[in-house]
Structure 1
Amino acid sequence: MKQSILSLKKVGFQTSKQTILEEITFEVQEGEVITLTGPSGSGKSTILKLIGSLFTPTQGTISYKGEDLEKINPMNYRKEVSYFFQNAALFDRTVKDNLEFPFTIRDQEIDEEKIKAYLEKVELSDGYYDKPVTELSGGEKQRIALIRNLMFEPRVLLLDEITSSLDAKNRSIILRMLDDLNKKNQVTIIKVTHDEAEISNSSRVIKIRNGRMEDSNDE
């Protein structure tokens, strides 16, 4: 039986001007693929940011593996729960700079073979290793950013409409890799998407409207 890896209990989030989320409660089982759906501005991305510890709830609690998120070291948590932006940014000068970064922050020796194997997984040749990031297309940047996040595989991936601006080829490459991670390695995925094919491949859909859960559907 799969174990609960994340738990949200009566989570709310408000700013000085408005209430964005109220009474968000759900459990996430290890290996699930959960899609958050609902109208633009309903609070879906805010939920991802709260789970990713980019925001702090103003009400309720979020737990990871049974421990209150506020008590977990953020650096350690983000190594296991990885947030991936809609238009992920690359930094420094080259692809190499970006893909060596996960090794550097962990004080580990650079594994070029591992890096090149990941490049191959997203259908990019070894030649991309030393390529300036300014010479990459939008789809190539997204693929590089994704494998930077996956160089040390997280337990949970939080995906915020990461394929919405991609062409069919780049979308297919990324979705195939994510599907592989989930099915073979049991990586848990929580995502925001409006793509019907992605929604239909979810194990569960949670609908958000006006900052509240409308209902959830187990498939």
Structure 2
Amino acid sequence: MTDVLTLHQISLTIRGKTLLKDINLSIPKGSFITLAGPSGAGKSTILKICARLLTPSSGKLLYNESDAFLIPPHDYRRHVSYCFQQPVLFGETVADNLNFPFQIRNQVPDQERQHALLDQINLPADYLSKNIASLSGGEKQRIALIRNLMFEPDVLLLDEVTTGLDAENKQIVHRLIDNYRQKGTILAITHDQEELAQAEKIVTIKGGQIHE
């Protein structure tokens, strides 16, 4: 199985503090890998390097065996998509957010696709006109997720996306992720015991290093 992402001897030091040291991690195409470990261990830092939101001090990040940092950022992020723990929505309406993936590709928004994904997260089609300020935390997280999945990326990076969600919202998010994982690759962070129990493979991070 080919690796879609490879972290080779990745280290990161910021203002004299070592956040990551010699991280070697292969992420095969179609896999679902979960990062576990205490808060502050470096899990989110690894995800942010994979998303190219941080640049390592040393080491290499490979995407399909090519240097990820030589790929234009807007091209790379169409293939490797990062979902924040706290959902970040913009504009005024749900439509502003779900139209965005089409706009950056110079395409006309596909309302049929938007409605289909809204249906997957138990929200009606008329939510497109809903003001984002009126959404609950769970609704914001669901909208942020389907924005990332409007054009399915090769890799989905999930940074504790179910934290703070009630049981019903968690199940909706789990179902959406399960639908995606049939086709894509997932690197996720979670502290949720139910999610850890169901993880395909767990990689433990402690003190900025991988612990086997």
TM-superposition CA deviations, 1:32-60 (whole Å, max 9, x none): 11011111101000000000000001011
Percentage of matched positions with identical amino acids: 45
Q: Deviations over 1:121-160 (max 9, x none)?
A: 1000012110100111010011111101110100100000
The separation in 2 between residues aligned to 1:4 and 1:198, in whole angstroms, is 24
**Pick aligned residue for 2:186 from 178, 184, 189:** 189
Letter in 2 for 1:196: Q
Give the match's secondary structure for 2:129: coil
Residue 7 of structure 1 aligns to a residue whose secondary structure is strand
SS at match of 1:49: helix
| Shift, 1:82, TM fit | 0.2
Aligned position for 1:165:
164
1:89 partner SS: coil
User: Is 1:198–2:198 an aligned residue pair?
Assistant: no
Q: Residue 74 of structure 2 aligns with which residue?
A: 75
* d(CA) in 1 for partners of 2:139, 2:69: 35
Q: In structure 2, the residue corresponding to 1:129 is in which secondary structure? A: helix
Opposite residue 173 of structure 1, the aligned amino acid is I
Give the counterpart letter for 2:109 in structure 1: I
The 3-state SS of whatever aligns with 2:172 is helix
Amino acid at match of 1:170: N
CA-CA distance at 1:69 after TM superposition = 1.1
Deviations 1:93-120 (A, max 9, x none): 1011110011001100111111111100
Show the counterpart of 1:3. Answer: 2
TM-score normalised by L of structure 2: 0.98
Which residue number corresponds to residue 51 of structure 1?
50
User: Counterparts of 1:40-119 in structure 2 under 5 Å?
Assistant: 40-119=39-118
Q: Which amino acid aligns with 1:147?
A: I
**Equivalent position amino acid for 1:198 in 2:** E
**For the residues of structure 2 that align with 1:200 and 1:65, how far apart are their CA atoms?**
29
Deviation readout 1:74-109 (Å, 9 max, x if unpaired):
110000000000011111110111100110011001
Instruction: Tell me the residue number matched to 1:34.
Output: 33
Aligned to 1:19: 18
Structure 1 length normalisation: TM-score?
0.95
Paired AA for residue 28 in structure 2: Q
State the shift of 1:17 in Å: 3.1
Q: Which amino acid aligns with 1:75?
A: H
Letter in 1 for 2:168: K
Structure 2 residue identity aligned to 1:99: L
| Structure 2, unaligned runs of 5 or more | none
Partner Cα separation in structure 2 for residue 65 and residue 131 of structure 1:
39
Residue 70 of structure 1: CA displacement?
A: 1.4
Residue 150 of structure 1 corresponds to 149
Determine the C-alpha separation between the residues in 2 that align with 1:200 and 1:6. Answer: 24
One-letter amino acid matched to 1:167 = D
Taking only aligned residues, the RMSD between alpha carbons, in angstroms, comes to 0.8
Distance 1:148 1:173 in 2: 15
The number of residues matched between the two structures is 212
Distance 2:196 2:2 in 1: 23
Partners of 1:88 and 1:35 in 2: CA distance: 20
Q: Following superposition of structure 1 onto structure 2, how do residues 126-145 of structure 1 map, counting pairs within 5 Å?
A: 126-145=125-144
Q: Which runs of 5+ in 1 are unaligned?
A: none
